[in-house]
Amino acid sequence: MKKTIQTLFALTAFGAAALLASAQPAPKIFVVDLAKLFDSHYKTEEQGAKLRSDEQMAQGELDRLNKEGNALVEKYKELADQANSPVATAEAKAKATADGQKALEDIRNKQKEVQTFQQNTRNSLQQRMKTFHDLMLEEIGKVAVDIAKRKGATLLIDKSGQTLNGVAGIVYSDPDYDITADVRKEINKDRPVSVAAPSAPAAAAPASDSPNITLPGVKK
């Protein structure tokens, strides 16, 4: 009798465990393309326009610095011609040589100024774009999570591999579970009418990659 009761208890416990296991909902996984949402977001286009405008301003300043440098080069050439002139007096040649050395030093300083300006501009634009990128991913991610939860999701995976609280990757996903279109609709519901369609992100540095000032006697 005692053994029978123990057996009944065991069967009852097993049945309860099986019931609890069957009551647990099956995992519901959704995927989202954060990279696509970032590129198509109207705020990304606005930020891109600002960066392009600042890049043009920086390019204008770079052109001005190069123009000043090239003027120094021309001045140096004139002084070199005076120092080597067969009709110039010794005093005039000495003065031209001294002035030429000063002009050469001014050219080197201008080259350093141009290089520093380029590097600082490049770093500034890249940092601004990175900061914007990270903030936007966080903002888009929150919207995506809210929508996924409303759909009863137990897991949301970013199939673009963007960095958001860690890097996520995916091997396979059913298109029926992709909520990218739903998130795009949600994040663009307040899109201003004046904002143009998204385009490629702005370049992160001025067009010129190196100073245009040519040091006398040095081949580029």
3-state secondary structure of 32: strand
The fold of 28-187 is Protein Binding, DinI Protein; Chain A (3.30.910)
- 88: phi then psi, degrees, rounded to nearest 5: -80, 150
Helix (H) or strand (E) holding 158: strand 155-158
Digit-coded pLDDT (tens) for 174-197: 787 888 999 999 999 988 887 665
- The DSSP bridge partners found for residue 167 are 163
Q: Considering only 17-26, 78-87, 117-126, 152-161, which range has the smallest mean pLDDT?
A: 17-26
Q: Cβ(198)–Cβ(39) under 8 Å? A: yes
Digit-coded pLDDT (tens) for 40-83: 999 999 999 999 999 999 999 999 999 999 999 999 999 999 98
Cα dihedral across residues 48, 49, 51, 56: positive or negative? positive
Among residues 211, 218, 215, 202, which one has the least CA distance to residue 61? 211
User: What are the tokens at 182?
Assistant: 């739903």
Question: How is residue 167 annotated by DSSP?
Answer: B
Digit-coded pLDDT (tens) for 86-113: 988 989 889 999 999 999 999 999 999 9
Q: Please give the Cα distance from 117 to 123 (Å, whole number).
A: 10
Q: Please give the Cα distance from 65 to 55 (Å, whole number).
A: 15
90-150 and 180-187 are packed helices; what angle lies between their axes, rounded to 10 degrees? Answer: 110
Q: Please give the Cα distance from 220 to 213 (Å, whole number).
A: 10
Question: How is residue 96 annotated by DSSP?
Answer: H
Cα dihedral across residues 115, 117, 121, 127: positive or negative? positive
